[in-house]
Structure formats: C-alpha cells, structure tokens
Amino acid sequence: MRLERLSCTPALWILAASLTIASFTFASQAQDTQQPPATPPAQDATPPQDAPPPPETPQQQDARPEPQADDSQPPTAQNGDVQEKIQINDRQRTFIVHLPRGYDSQQHYPIVILLHGLDQDAAEMARLTHFNEFADRDSIIAVYPNAIGGRWTFAAVREPGPYRRGPYRRPGIWGPGYPPPPPPSEPGDRRAAAPRNQDMQFLHRMLDRLSTHYSVDTRRIYVAGLGDGGFVAIRMGCNMADRIAAIAVVGAAMPRTQNCIPSRPVPALFMNGTDDPMVPYDGGHYKGGMIRLLSAEDTAKEWARLNHCSEKPSESKLHALPGGGKDTKVYLFDGCQENAQVTLYSVKNGGHTWPGGEQYMSEKEVGKTSHALNANETIWSFLVTKKIAGESGTER
C-alpha cells in the first residue's frame, strides 16, 4: 500500500508543474491581448529625394518650351541657303533655310519643313526631293532640320545601329557637323525628371527662330517627312497642332501604340508605296526599329477618325505621268471637321522613296522610286489651301 502511494508521487508532481506552466502562458496571452496595438510610425508625406516623378505624356513632352533670349541676327541674304544653329540643352542643333528667289521681307511666305529619313541629313533630303527648285517657283520657304546622328526620336523603341553615311553626303554648308551622342546611362542612374523629347524642343525653337527672323505666314507652316521624318511629322501633327497647319507623310505609318490627341483637326496626306520594304503597306514591323505599325489604309482611317471625317473614303485614280508606270490609287476622306481632309496615295510598286525624286539607295534596300507622280506637286496641291485661323500680315 505504501509502495503504491510513493509511485504516484512523481506523477502528481508532473501534473502540478504542467498546470503551473499552462496558467502562466494563459496569463501572458491575456496581458498581450489587453495592451493597445503599437502605433506605426508616421510616414513622411514628402516623397524621398531620389524618387522619380510620374512619367509625362507625349503631349507634355512635346509642349512648347519657354521662349529664350535670341541674340542672333536675321540673315542679310535675300535668297539662297542660310545655315542656322540653336542650342538645345547644351547641344548645338542645325537646320538649313532655303529662301526662294525674289524673297521680299515685306511679304509673308508659307513654310514647308522637310524632315529627312533614317541615316540621312538635310543635304540628302534637299537633293533627293528636288524641293528647292519647286520652292523657288512657288515662293515657298523650305526648311531642312538635321537630326542628331541621322536619327530622329519619335517615342518608339528601335534597335541600336551605327550611323551610316548616305551616298549624297557632301561637305560645306550642308555638311553634318553632328556632335557625338551622349554617353549611355549607367545602371541604377536616377534622373530628377523624365527627359523631354529633344527633337520636339528643337523643332519648337526652330519655329520660334523662323517666325522672328524671316517673313513667315505663321498660319501656313507645313511639315513633310520621309520615313523616320514621316514618323516625326505624324508626332508633330498630334502634339503641335497649334503651330502646324497640315502634314504630309511619305513612307511612314502610325505606330499601333501612338497616343495622338491633336488640339485641332489637322489635315493630313499620306503617300505609301505598295512595295515598301521598310514600312510594310499592309502593316507590321518597321524594318528601321522595333515598332509595330498600322497599315497605310488603317493609318488614313485612324487620322480621319481623329478629324471626324466620313467613315468611308471616296476612291479615284491619279493617272501616271508619261513613262511613269501605273496609275496611283487615291483615297479621300471628306466631310471632316474644319474641312481637315485626309488623303492616302497608294503608289503602285513604289518603295521607301520620294515619288519623282532620286533613287537614293539601291532598290534592294529601299525599293523603287516611282515616277508615276511627282510628290512635290501632289503634296503642295494638298497643303496650299490649308491654314490655321488667324492673321499673319500680307501673304504670298
């Protein structure tokens, strides 16, 4: 009997210890439950110094910069070519102004800005289009801006490539004079703000210089571009509608991701070759960069939608010039807001070229230059009647 009582004693000790531990644990949990939750530290409303700002829209990036003091002197020449220079963010940018024969500073002239293509410059654009001769005849100031390294920036991702000197490069006033490209950004670099599109800033400054140094009808400033220059012309039509009366786009189409909200309906002419190896007529990837494009016809439809035109275009044919090959199919969107017509010229068998101009590269690289129509004549007949509302002195 005594042995049984002794054998139970350890068991009772273990049971008592277990109950003591359980009571202590329960009391600790209850105490934690009764304590108020810790207040998190107040967050500073001011963002960290190195936090990047929200990205700007293309319209904000292309906004007209604040005017700057310009101590350059107006040209003394009354005709011919004038080289102009502008500083943009510590970088020198250049453009050529061709004054028509008989230029009179008491008159106000229309301007056509001609934007060169990929790996080209102002000199090549003037030579391959022959636009100066046309400008002399019709009293137009022709302006040829230079891209940096022969490449425009039009908010599209492109594959990097070396700058190739084109076959029309010549020394002298039309020479390149391009500064070297900026060094690549290091991983982890932080910027105080998203960079503005320097090409758009340059073009705004260029228009400021033209309006103050030359006799310009500011209601009649037009843009025409080939290839990459055509993409820039589209962007200017989207984001600089307050300064550009109309655009003419040759060998380019709207990127599928284009964010286009013009402040007014902008008349537009599109001219695309059906055999363009760089910008596929039926849409697809642009050979000059990683860009997906609408087809030529869908581009015209989209611009017509922006201008509130009729949904279906009228179709006609432009008869080919003697010895020029096949007729050109023409799509015209009419009934547009503010009469901002949209036209597409579908150049049969044409390449990534300026119709009626020079075959500036081999047909294998850029396709064939069509001579079924003259791009200068066709484009100007469209642009000449387009104006921005307002007053601009005595016009030509």
Sign of CA dihedral 184, 188, 189, 191: positive
Q: What pLDDT score does 390 carry?
A: 74
Q: What is the DSSP string of 54-74?
A: PPPPHHHHTSPPPP----PPP
**Helices and strands of the chain, counted as H and E runs:** 9, 12
Predicted TM-score (pTM) of the model is 0.75
Q: Are 247 and 234 in contact (CB under 8 A)?
A: yes
Domains of the chain: 84-177+195-383 (3.40.50.1820)
The label of the residue with tokens 């230029």 reads 103
Residue 331, φ and ψ in degrees, nearest 5: -110, 125
> Which residues of the chain, if any, have pLDDT below 70?
1-79, 155-196, 391-396
**333 bridge partner residues:** 342
pLDDT, one tens digit per residue, over 285-337 is 998 778 899 999 999 999 999 999 999 999 999 999 998 889 999 999 999 99
List of residues 6+ apart from 10 with CB closer than 8 A? none
Identity at 10, one-letter amino acid code: P
Provide Rg for the chain, Cα atoms.
33
**3 bridge partner residues:** none
Using CA atoms, how far apart are residues 325 and 320, in angstroms rounded to an integer? 6
Using CA atoms, how far apart are residues 169 and 162, in angstroms rounded to an integer? 16
Using CA atoms, how far apart are residues 213 and 85, in angstroms rounded to an integer? 13
pLDDT, one tens digit per residue, over 69-99 is 555 555 555 668 999 999 998 899 999 999 9
